[in-house]
Amino acid sequence: MQALEEEQKHLDETSAAYDLAFAALVGRKRSQGIDDFANEALEQMRRERIRVYTEASGPLYFGRIDQTDGDTLYVGRHAVWSPDNDLLSVNWRAPAAEPFYAATAHEPRGVKKRRRLDIEERKVVGFVDETLTQDDDDHLTDAIVEDITRKRVGEMRQIISTITPDQYELISREAEGALVIQGGPGTGKTAVGLHRAAWLLYTDPELTRQGVLVVGPNETFIRYIEQVLPALGEGGVEQRPIGSLIAQPHGEVDETRELASLKGSARIAVVMERLLWGRLSLEGGEVPFGRRKVVTVTPEDLREIVVSVRERTFSYEAGRERFRERLAGLIAGRLLDRDSLAGQEEAISAVRKTKEYQRMTTKAWPRESPEALVERLFKNRARLTEAAGDLLSDDEISLLLKASAATKRKDMTPTDVALLDEAHWLIDPSFRRFGHVVVDEAQNLTPMELRMTVRRARGHSLTILGDLSQRTADAGVSSWDAVLDEAGVSDHVVSELTISYRVPSDFLVLAGTLLPEGAPAPRGVRDAPFPALAIDTDDLGASAARVAARYADEVGSVGVVVPHVHMDEVRAALGDFVDATGGAPLGSGVNLIDLHVAKGLEFDAIVVVEPEAILHERPDGGVGGLYTALTRSTRALAIVHAQPLPEPLRHTTVLRTETDRNPA
Ligand SMILES: Nc1ncnc2c1ncn2[C@@H]1O[C@H](COP(=O)(O)OP(=O)(O)OP(=O)(O)O)[C@@H](O)[C@H]1O
């Protein structure tokens, strides 16, 4: 009791100090620096601090550590000082807070006791202590389980008070190079990726200027996660679905799997680069000035300029500009050797006006647009064979020739978007890059899509999150090493998260029966409060609707995952529901989703319709698609099927079977 009162006293003191600091910040007149520039910079800092103070939501702090040296430290969202300059609470990302997350009984790091506080509004409701000098119960896992089994409302939450030591280690790793986090469903990859973004922004102020990009599989997923960073006080992060990285709308136009996988292969990047640079044609020629003066430009002159320009510029268009300047300079120089009356500038301007110079530059280094480069991939067998004969088979070249480039945006497939993005990157000098890029659900990206994310990260500073076991039928990623190599990232580290907090152990056993021997799969930390059900029915829609309504009543939010062949009948049978197949924000009741949208989401209960059809669905189904569908739930799981269950699911003891067939 006394301890609780003491905690309340500290919270009151901290809240008062926080309010005082905030009022001072908001009320302060425009800061006065030494000049306008300094004033503006100070004002910007002030606005940024106000934003962080107002936007970071939740209790001021959530934890406390008592150290063996007698010091006590509170860990929270902000650093708060008392008017006498005592540190009342530290920011969770400050180095001083590290022991709160990293200390274990095995390695206590100077921590005697860790306390997790339960604070509502500004009242301390309770706390749980953990002593690190002896073997204590696993309070952390209990706290996570308690958090995760609270009802989900269609939005992901931040986890700063319960980050585990292994998650903390990944969140706080240096941002150099690419970090791959492999982890099964519900191990916290997405949570770790987002908290890592917040972490990096705090520890490296330069990153705020350079920007951080978070890439997810689709719009629904982005909506699901987009509140997490603002809740951590980080509002300026760009969060985008992979398909709209270059703001190109596209339709889900059908294309054959062969074509999609060819267009998604990293060999295409090499072909595009060759097609682009193959446009240079270095022939030289003569540039006459008036009647008597002629300057000769040899192919060797042009080649020298090209080599030196390409050493200094990357993009085709930036190179073209520089090439034109350098060539004008070279011709002007030769002109001036003979008649030095005019100045260099004047001579260059005269050169630029000549038809021959213009003709020569246009021929040597022609203008190219990203769209035109993409079109080249689908035209002219002779040219394609010359550029790609060693990389593509004749059949593959024929496949490209038979297809045609999507010239209109509305005709673009996801594979076209990746091609166009590659072309932009090769050609466009103003390509936007970020200080760090977080890529989620990366196991389902083609190499070309992964390249889209890699090229946006300065110095390959990337966090790549994924699970090879959740690879859907047509995904390109088979091993992290191979795929990163193809995407041009030679230097990367793969780390693993192995404990699933979302998925109960019995559901993991059930889903795990589908995986091939040796595939990565996580461990659970609890059993589900409701048994996994298999409902054998002759009316998929009616049975799915019934069990979904029951779960909505008894459990909480429900996801109904349906393969496309059964979508219409299930949609027609469901009562009150959100149709999230078209990108609508998820609701707290029943949500209808397809296999494309299911990736990365989480519900209190899940209903999986006709697994056999999911195994046959393309491109988002297959074993990985079904495994993903079966691992979306924190508490309840039902499989509704009219066809027999897929073989592996028939033999597990964790599935309770029911029949919902009309006896007639
Ligand atoms: N340390 C933690 N404290 C509290 N909740 C946690 C913690 N780690 C993970 N969770 C919760 O577990 C759930 C699963 O996390 P997350 O979605 O990040 O997993 P994932 O590995 O990305 O899963 P998937 O592969 O299915 O996309 C989320 O509700 C997340 O908030």
Interacting residues of 118 by C-beta distance below 8 A, sequence separation 6+? 124, 125, 126, 127, 128
Average pLDDT, the chain: 89
Residue 257, pLDDT above cutoff 70: yes
CA of 385 to the centre of ligand 1 (A): 48
Contact assessment for residue 441 and residue 466, using Cβ atoms and an 8 Å cutoff: yes
What does the alpha-carbon distance between residue 375 and residue 378 come to, in Å, rounded to a whole number?
Answer: 6
What does the alpha-carbon distance between residue 18 and residue 421 come to, in Å, rounded to a whole number?
Answer: 47
The pLDDT of residue 475 is 67
The pLDDT of residue 76 is 94
- Is any ligand 1 atom within 6 A of the Cβ of residue 186? yes
What does the alpha-carbon distance between residue 559 and residue 602 come to, in Å, rounded to a whole number?
Answer: 8
Residue 194, pLDDT above cutoff 60: yes
Residue 95, pLDDT above cutoff 90: yes
CB atoms within 10 A of CB 45: 11
- Is any ligand 1 atom within 6 A of the Cβ of residue 469? no
Residue 339, pLDDT above cutoff 60: no
DSSP string of 23-65, one letter each residue: HHHHHPPPP--SSHHHHHHHHHHHHHHHHHHHHS-S-SEEEEE
The pLDDT of residue 305 is 93
Find the length of the chain: 664
- Is any ligand 1 atom within 6 A of the Cβ of residue 564? no
User: What value does the mean pLDDT take over residues 423-437?
Assistant: 89
Pocket test for ligand 1, best of 602, 604, 631, 633 (most atoms within 8 A of CB): 602
**Ligand 1, atom nearest to 599 Cα:** 27
Contact assessment for residue 200 and residue 175, using Cβ atoms and an 8 Å cutoff: yes
CB atoms within 10 A of CB 167: 24
What does the alpha-carbon distance between residue 231 and residue 235 come to, in Å, rounded to a whole number?
Answer: 8
What type of residue sits at position 146?
Answer: E
Residue 664, pLDDT above cutoff 80: no
What type of residue sits at position 281?
Answer: S
- Residue 340 confidence class, pLDDT cut points 50, 70, 90: low
Smallest Cα–Cα separation from 553: which of 623, 621, 484, 605? 605
Q: Which helix (H) or strand (E) holds 388?
A: helix 381-388
In the three-class reduction of DSSP (H, G, I as helix; E, B as strand; rest coil), residue 192 is classed as: helix
Contact assessment for residue 159 and residue 195, using Cβ atoms and an 8 Å cutoff: yes
- Residue 639 confidence class, pLDDT cut points 50, 70, 90: very high
Residue 104, pLDDT above cutoff 70: yes
Q: How many CA atoms lie within 13 A of 96 on its CB side?
A: 18
Retrieve residue 406's tokens.
């999507």
The pLDDT of residue 237 is 87
User: What value does the mean pLDDT take over residues 264-268?
Assistant: 90
CA of 197 to the centre of ligand 1 (A): 16
Closest Cα to atom 25 of ligand 1 = 185
- Residue 636 confidence class, pLDDT cut points 50, 70, 90: very high
Report the CATH number of the 173-251+413-497 domain.
3.40.50.300
What does the alpha-carbon distance between residue 400 and residue 393 come to, in Å, rounded to a whole number?
Answer: 11
- Is any ligand 1 atom within 6 A of the Cβ of residue 463? no
Give the model confidence (pLDDT) of 198-231 as tens digits: 999 999 988 988 889 999 998 889 889 988 998 8
Residue 272, pLDDT above cutoff 80: yes
Residue 367, by phi and psi: left (phi above 0), alpha (psi -120 to 50) or beta? beta
Contact assessment for residue 129 and residue 113, using Cβ atoms and an 8 Å cutoff: yes
Give the model confidence (pLDDT) of 5-17 as tens digits: 999 999 999 999 9
- Is any ligand 1 atom within 6 A of the Cβ of residue 162? yes
**Ligand 1, atom nearest to 631 Cα:** 26
| N-terminal to C-terminal alpha carbon distance within the chain | 66
- Is any ligand 1 atom within 6 A of the Cβ of residue 386? no
Contact assessment for residue 645 and residue 611, using Cβ atoms and an 8 Å cutoff: yes
Pocket test for ligand 1, best of 182, 214, 501, 595 (most atoms within 8 A of CB): 501
Q: Is the dihedral of CA 87, 92, 94, 98 positive or negative?
A: positive
Residue 32, pLDDT above cutoff 90: no
CA of 525 to the centre of ligand 1 (A): 13
What does the alpha-carbon distance between residue 387 and residue 459 come to, in Å, rounded to a whole number?
Answer: 29
What does the alpha-carbon distance between residue 96 and residue 104 come to, in Å, rounded to a whole number?
Answer: 16
Higher pLDDT, 43 or 598: 598
User: CATH classification of 505-660, choosing from 3.40.50.300, 3.40.50.720, 3.30.70.260, 2.40.30.10?
Assistant: 3.40.50.300
Same fold, 173-251+413-497 and 505-660: yes
- Is any ligand 1 atom within 6 A of the Cβ of residue 191? yes
- Is any ligand 1 atom within 6 A of the Cβ of residue 159? yes
Give the model confidence (pLDDT) of 349-400 as tens digits: 889 999 999 999 999 999 999 999 999 999 999 999 999 989 999 999 999 9
Give the model confidence (pLDDT) of 151-175 as tens digits: 777 789 899 999 999 999 999 999 8
Domain boundaries along the sequence of the chain: 2-170, 173-251+413-497, 280-364, 505-660
**Ligand 1, atom nearest to 167 Cα:** 1
- Residue 453 confidence class, pLDDT cut points 50, 70, 90: very high
- Is any ligand 1 atom within 6 A of the Cβ of residue 421? no
Residue 73, pLDDT above cutoff 90: yes
